[in-house]
Every structure is written in structure tokens, then in C-alpha cells.
Structure 1
Amino acid sequence: MDVAFENRKLEKRLCRLVGQAIDDYHMIEDGDRVMVCLSGGKDSYSLLDILMRLQRRAPARFELIAVNLDQKQPGFPADVLPNYLKSLGIPFHIETQDTYSIVKRVIPEGKTMCSLCSRLRRGILYRVARELGATKIALGHHRDDILQTLLLNMFFGARLKGMPPKLVSDNGEHVVIRPLAYVPEKDLIRWAEVRQFPIIPCNLCGSQQHLQRKQVGDLLREWDRRFPGRVANMLKALQNVVPSHLMDRGLYDFAGVRATGRPQADGDLAFDEEELPAPPGAEADEDGDETAVAQPPAATGRRVFALTPAD
């Protein structure tokens, strides 16, 4: 195997998938100042790395500023991220706030700290984004994160809800984007190895991993291994919603349904077993690798970040 060739293919695929997601959902526009939230894990390192590559190639002009929140967790190597970011020559800001002590004081011993920690972190990052004049806040959630959230909400929350690729923050002040929305986690694992990012372990606070999320993540990985294309199709399903064939009365006017006497393209064969399409294999891109991209139903034709095969 030509390792350099495979690494180049991976780089092209990552740039293509991220560029496609940015274009499809108009995540970044000319003149934006994008605050990239950097945790020290593989996902946020990859996000910053790919956005820097796209910044050099895309016709849209935008700024990047990397931000890390040092929450004073015991054992956190405070020099790792500043040294790495200085080596990149990119603007960055390290925000130091001792939320760890607050969480330890408020949460009883043995209880999960993640919920309160997340709320505190979110509020601080919103304030920092305002102070830095950021127009977008970029997070490192990838395809598998989005699908895990969808399944967790279905199984435990009784609702169809995932992670949107773009949303308004809960305080209404910021636009939050997830440029890795189309990217499989396995590609990010490989890219972190290729780039040799200085990974900071995620277990510094000593809290237990979410068991439910881990189980759902294991399920998705097993499906991806045994049934190529299934996980990619799940993401495509989120882009091809048919409200009339779900059961949400707030989303579709079931009370107003009346016979029209005209054929309905989306109508059911009411007395027949619905025929589902045969399970396809993984859809391949021009490099022969699986891709998770599905065009939205109403494509705009706007292509600023999506790269051509020649790129």
C-alpha cells in the first residue's frame, strides 16, 4: 500500500465532505469570523486543520480563531494547546475558568458531572464569542455524533431529534455550526494518526463515560462493519424527511386530510406491504471510498467550499 497516496485520498475526502456540508447549509460566508472550539481531542483538532486548508482554497474570505476553555481540571496539560497553536501561526485564545471546582462542589460524589459542566462551558464560550466578535461558533461533532444523538433521543427521549448542522444558540445571540456533519468518525481517527495531533485525554475529570451513548456508538460501529452503507443511509434519511408519513400532528395537518380524487405521488398503497428498496452497498466517491453525502431536496447550486475532483 502506498501510504502517502492513501493519506492524500483521505485529505481530499475530508476537505470535500466538510466543504460540501458548509455549502449545503451555508455555514460560512464571506467576511465571517469563525470561532473554532478546541478541546484537545481528535475531532476538534481535525476540524481546525480542515478549516485551515479550506480557508486557503475557498474563494470566500473568512477568519479563524481557535478557542480553548481551560476548566482547571486536575492534570490538564495547560501548555499543549498554546504550543500547538503557536506552531500553526493561527490566532487563538485560551479562556481560563475554574468550572471544575464549581461542579465538584455542587454535584454529589458519584453523580455525573457532565450536565452542569456542559451548561457552564456553553455560557462561557458564548461570552467569549461575543467578546471576540465571532460571527459563527464551530463545533467538532461528526456524522456518528449526530446519529448517536438521533438514536438516543428515539430510544430514551421518545422524540425524533438529532444534532442540526447549523442552529441559533439557546441565548439567541450566536450561530453554531458543525462542519464535520458529513464526516465518519473512522476518518477522523485515521486523520489524527496521520497528522499526529497532540491529543489530550478526555478522562481528566474522572467522570464516567455516558453508558447509553457508548452503547449506541458501539451499535453504529457494528452496523457499519457488518452492513456497509447502512450508517451513511441513516444520515441521508435525516435529509429526506416525509412529514406526511410520520405521526407528528404539529408537523402535518392530519385532521385536514381529504380524498382529492387525484393520484398522489407520495401516497401509500394502503392495503399493500410497502416495498423498501434493496439495501445498497456503500456509495463510493471518485476515490472509491464510502461517502455519506446526500444532496438536500432543494439544492441551491451555490458551491463555494465544495472541492472538485481536481482539487
Structure 2
Amino acid sequence: MGKWGKLSYAQKKTVSTIGMLMQKTEMVHEGARLGIAVSGGVDSFVLIRAMLIRQAIIPMNIELMVLHVNPGFDPESHKPLIQWCEEYGLSSHIELTDYGPRAHGPENRNKSACFFCSKLRRKRLYELCGQYNLTHLAIGHTADDLVTTFHMNITQNGRVQGLSASEPFFKGKLQMIRPALMLEKKYIKAAARQWELPIWKNNCPSNDATKRSYIYDRLQEEWQKNPVTRNNTFNALRRWQLDLNMKKQ
């Protein structure tokens, strides 16, 4: 038993699935410095918890750093994250911005608030990776995000595209990785409860009112009618996306 104690089924599933994808795609290398983008939501919080365990397991030295860009709806929402990082001895950069209110204000009248806010936060994360000489930026996207993004791209953008597990940015200076891309959210939610992670409420006024959430809700309705189609959809898209990543190596 490791220093993290006995793991539940959901926790083991989380750690092993992340490890499988990291291994198959050769996601990290000796001396890699990973910035993990933590929003405070369940996906990214479970990712950093699982990555701490993976760090102790893998036969190479990697460094982890938590990056949190508070969009500004609640200036103190990230306090539990500060305490949690201190408890686990994790390096972190946590800052407060005004990106969220700006996205919903007069500066951004004609565009999606989510797109505007996400663009600013992603740009800031890239800047922080450069500031701290990080080689990787880890994002907490899951298999559910892969399925939803695939359907969004078909219906909204007219293209067949999912989410890459690992892709280079800035001429290879930074590698964006999605270690949890093959993992379903049901395991993440269960693992988060069992780890008692201090996840906080999303106070964004656009939360659950986006095209992404609409499409995911419609998919859920169809899957409830025939649960087999859900498993088939997830399995097919996971295999397809993994095959694409393997071909890029």
C-alpha cells in the first residue's frame, strides 16, 4: 500500500486510466515540469490528486505545479485550494482576475461569455507556463468532454474533431496534455467524494447555460432511452481519439 492509503474502486480506476493514457501516448518525459490547470471543479481537482499518485509511481522524475486563474466572480473561492496545496506540499500559482465579469459586461456584448473568459484564462496559463519554465500544461478534460466536443464540432462547426490527448504548442516549447481524456466523469465524481476534495461551487452566471451543456443534456436524454448506446459511443470515440494520438507519435 502506498503512502496515499488504500484506494477505492473509483480511485483505482481514475489513477490507472490516467496512467494508461500517459504510457500509451508517452505523455511525459524525464525532468518534465507540469503545470496543472485547476479550476476548482471536480475534474481538475481529481486530476491533480491522481497526478500526485502517478508522480510517485512512474519510473522518472517529474515536477507538478498547480495553476489557478480565478475568473473573479468570488474573490475568495480559491482559499480551500491554497490550504490543500499547502497540506500536500504542492507548488502553486493562484491569482485573482476580472475575466469573468468582463466577459459578461459591455466589453463583450457580441460574443460568447464563455469563449471570451476561456480565451483570457488560457492565454494567462500559457504566460504562467513560460514564467515558470514549465514543459507541459495539463487540462482536466474527460471522456465526457471528448464525446460532447465531438458532437459539438459536427453540429456547430461542421467538422469531425475531438480533443487531443497530447499536442504541441509554440513550436513544441509547451505540450498540452489531457491525462484524464479516457476517464468517464462518473468515476471522477465518486473519487472526488471519497478523497473529500474541497471543491467549490461554480458561481459563473453562464454555468449550465451553454451550447456545450445543451448538447450534453440532449445526449443524456438519448442514452437514457437505450443505455447500450452510451457505452458504444464512449468506447468508439475513445478508441478513435487514442488511435489518432498514437499515429502522431
Shorter-chain TM band: 0.7 to 0.9
Task: State the Cα deviation string for residues 274-310 of structure 1 (Å, max 9, x = none).
Answer: xxxxxxxxxxxxxxxxxxxxx9579x9xxxxxxxxxx
Q: How do residues 229-308 of structure 1 correspond to structure 2 at under 5 angstroms?
A: 229-230=231-232, 231-240=234-243, 296=246
How much is the aligned-residue C-alpha RMSD, in angstroms? 2.6
Quote the Cα distance in structure 2 between the aligned partners of 1:99 and 1:212.
Answer: 20
1:42 Cα shift?
0.5
Q: How do residues 75-224 of structure 1 correspond to structure 2 at under 5 angstroms?
A: 76-103=76-103, 104-108=105-109, 112-169=112-169, 173-202=173-202, 204-221=203-220, 222-223=222-223
The code of the aligned residue for 1:234 comes to L
Quote the Cα distance in structure 1 between the aligned partners of 2:69 and 2:243.
Answer: 36
Does residue 1:45 correspond to 2:48, yes or no? Answer: no
Quote the Cα distance in structure 1 between the aligned partners of 2:191 and 2:92.
Answer: 22
The code of the aligned residue for 1:232 comes to N
SS in 1 for 2:8: helix
Distance 1:240-1:74 versus aligned 2 partners, 3 A rule: closer
SS in 1 for 2:35: strand
**TM-score normalized with structure 2 length:** 0.86
Quote the Cα distance in structure 1 between the aligned partners of 2:193 and 2:211.
Answer: 27
1:57 Cα shift?
1.1
Q: Which has the larger radius of gyration?
A: 1
**Which stretches in structure 2 are left out of the alignment for 5+ residues?**
1-5
Distance 1:171-1:117 versus aligned 2 partners, 3 A rule: farther
**Which stretches in structure 1 are left out of the alignment for 5+ residues?**
1-5, 242-294, 301-311
Match of 2:21 in 1: 21
CA contact (8 A) 1:139 1:178 kept: yes
Match of 2:3 in 1: none
**TM-score normalized with structure 1 length:** 0.70
Q: Which has the higher helix share?
A: 2
Distance 1:208-1:38 versus aligned 2 partners, 3 A rule: closer
Match of 1:32 in 2: 32
1:96 Cα shift?
2.9
Quote the Cα distance in structure 2 between the aligned partners of 1:208 and 1:200.
Answer: 13
CA contact (8 A) 1:112 1:207 kept: no
Q: Equivalent pairs: percent with the same residue?
A: 23
